[in-house]
Amino acid sequence: MKILVAVKRVVDYNVKVRVKSDNTGVDTANVKMSMNPFDEIAIEEAVRLKEKGIASEIIAVSCGVAQCQETLRTAMAIGADRAVLIESNEELQPLAVAKLLKALVDKEQPGLILLGKQAIDDDCNQTGQMLAALADLPQVAFASKVEIADGKATVAREIDGGLETLSVTLPAVVTADLRLNEPRYVTLPNIMKAKKKPMEIVKPEDLGIDVSPRIKTLKVNEPPKRSAGVKVADVATLVAKLKTEAKVI
């Protein structure tokens, strides 16, 4: 079984982003970029399925600028066998990415498609579900445990208040939540090996996909600031302030 894993290049999660002074967006020049953390979990899960003998080949795919090649090399250092970059300098919104991935699913016919549940830049949490819709496949979003057997995936997913378990026929789309696994550290030998793994580069036009954005960003602002309050000396003062000043208890 082939597994297709989608990965996104995003501003590193440790970077404190700044809104541009002209309010057109967030400043991403000279900022450290990394693989979206949830996508790293998705790649790790695919590699574990290969190590268990369930998957035969892992294909990592990324949609975006030429520098996404670095993200794909990281995916291959974790254990993906080959990579596809769908290269575009346009702003790619989740619907467009889902359409590009759908074209690749048609071509590669994977048994399982794994994605992170959400990218930490636009915080959309849409692409996996959209891909499942376009490809007419069952979906399990926010997975915390995946088991594959007899042409089906049994997946536990995070829901409000607990966990839910679904069984879906394969092929299916699964999006990774935080607790699915803990991604391994990439080792230097694996980084070297990843440099030799094959990477294909295609354009959205080659796949016949219109990627024009459906949502216009009119402006981007700083959120309203919350100012620091006061430090209190002890528990008794805290309780008194909450009772008489804030009146919340």
Partner 1 sequence: MTTLVIAEHDNASLKPATLNTVTAAAQCGGDVHVLVAGHNAAAAAAAAAHIAGVSKVLHIESETLAHGVAENLSAQVVAMASSYSHILFPATAAGKNVAPRVAAKLDVGQLSDVTKVLSPDTFERPIYAGNAIATVQSTDAIKVLTVRTTGFDAAGQGGNAAIDTLAAVATPGTTTYLGSEIAKNDRPELTAAKVIVSGGRALASNEQFMAIMTPLADKLGAALGASRAAVDAGYAPNDWQVGQTGKIVAPQLYIAVGISGAIQHLAGMKDSKVIVAINKDPEAPIFSVADYGLEADLFTAVPELTAAL
Spatial separation of the C-alpha atoms in residues 55 and 39, rounded to whole Å: 18
3-state secondary structure of 202: strand
Residue pair 151/171 in contact (Cβ under 8 Å)? The answer is no
Report the residue number, 13 or 67, with the smaller CB distance to partner 1: 13
Nearer to partner 1, 58 or 156 (CB): 156
205 vs 87, 213, 216, 243, CA distance in Å? Answer: 10, 15, 22, 64
CB of residue 198 vs partner 1: minimum separation in angstroms? 30
Dihedral-angle region of residue 123 (phi above 0 means left; psi in -120 to 50 means alpha; beta otherwise): left
Contact 60, 138 (CB under 8 A): no
Query: In angstroms, what is the minimal distance from the CB of 193 to partner 1?
Result: 29
69/144 with CB nearer partner 1: 144
Please report how close the Cβ of residue 113 comes to partner 1 at its closest, in angstroms: 14
**What is the closest distance, in whole angstroms, from the C-beta atom of residue 176 to partner 1 in the complex?**
11
- In the complex, minimum distance from the CB of residue 133 to partner 1, in angstroms, rounded to a whole number: 4
Q: Which is nearer to partner 1, 57 or 158 (CB)?
A: 158
- Please identify, using beta-carbon distances, which residue of 196 and 214 lies nearer to partner 1: 214
Tell the smallest beta-carbon distance from residue 2 to partner 1 (Å).
19
CB of 125 to partner 1, least distance (A): 5
> What SS3 string covers 74-141?
HHHHHCCCEEEEEECCCCCCHHHHHHHHHHHHHHHCCCEEEEECCCCCCCCCCHHHHHHHHCCCCEEE
Name the residue nearer to partner 1 (CB basis): 86 or 137. 137
Q: How is 4-37 classified by DSSP, letter by letter?
A: EEE--EEE-TT----B-TTSSSB--TT--EEE-H
Closest C-alpha among 226, 20, 220, 10 to residue 118: 10
Residue 145 or 197 with smaller CB distance to partner 1: 145
CA pair distance 211, 98, nearest whole angstrom: 10
